[in-house]
Amino acid sequence: MSDFVELQWKRNRGWPWPEDSYGLTPMYGEDGWCHSCGVPKRHQCGSLVLQHKGKTRFTGAWVPNWQFDVICLERPLADEIGRRFDVELREVAWHGGVGGGEASQIVPRRTDEPWFDHDELRASAEERHGVAGKTCPECGVWRWMPLGFGFGLPPLRLDLADQAGDVIASPEWFGDGWNAFRVLLVRRELAELIADGSPRDAKVNKVV
């Protein structure tokens, strides 16, 4: 049984700010992300900024709209996870200063080893979307068309036995338009803690 699983998200909650960058500028800096495809050019150096959009509090764990590889945690859950697991946490900021300190974000650890056979990825993406993906003319990054476990991703080829960190991100990028995301895997015990605390948002999905 693999020690890593997918957290499959049932919904998105919260809107990053500013909307004209999908929240990327506060996270990576104005020059830290591609303004053509939305792929970051560096490791995250700033906070995710969320808008309340009429909400006064977010509970449990969630992913915000537009940023589908960003896991947010309400403060008590973040504190527990920070004590028990090997994760990088960054405080979530709120537009207008309302709600400061309410939540943290998990910053996943990117691996260098490819997760998927790219010939299999190409065939699967073409079968599902009619096209495999495309290279951004501005930054040169190839993004595969959106796929997920159980929704077109081929079998995982990554050796999971000796991965550092409890939340890891694929080196492959997926998405279309300004949507850019990586596939995340989460240590099983951590994923179960998050899913148990947020059953309306997430469930654990075996990948191997």
Question: pLDDT in tens for each of the 208 residues of the chain?
Answer: 469 999 999 999 888 999 899 999 999 999 999 999 999 999 999 999 998 765 556 789 999 998 999 999 999 999 999 999 999 999 999 887 665 568 999 999 999 999 999 999 999 999 999 999 999 999 999 999 999 998 899 999 988 888 889 999 999 999 998 899 999 999 999 999 999 999 999 999 988 6
> Phi and psi (nearest 5°) for 72?
-105, 150
Query: Which pTM value belongs to this model?
Result: 0.92
Q: Which domain does 85 fall in, by range?
A: 11-107
On whether the CB atoms of residues 101 and 2 are closer than 8 A, the answer is no
CB atoms near residue 165 (< 10 Å): 18
Strands (E), 75-191: 88-91, 93-94, 103-107, 109-110, 133-135, 142-144, 167-169, 173-174, 184-187
- Whether 58 is in a domain gets the answer yes
Would you state the pLDDT for residue 58? 74
- Whether 183 is in a domain gets the answer no
Give the total number of structural domains in the chain.
1
- Whether 5 is in a domain gets the answer no
Q: Residue 196 carries which DSSP code?
A: H
- Whether 93 is in a domain gets the answer yes
CB atoms near residue 79 (< 10 Å): 13
- Whether 47 is in a domain gets the answer yes
- Whether 16 is in a domain gets the answer yes
CB atoms near residue 111 (< 10 Å): 18
Count of H-run helices and E-run strands, the chain: 4, 15
Would you state the pLDDT for residue 14? 87
- Whether 70 is in a domain gets the answer yes
* Separation CA 40–CA 36 (nearest Å): 11
* Separation CA 93–CA 95 (nearest Å): 7
Cis status, amide bond into 18, omega within 30 of 0: yes
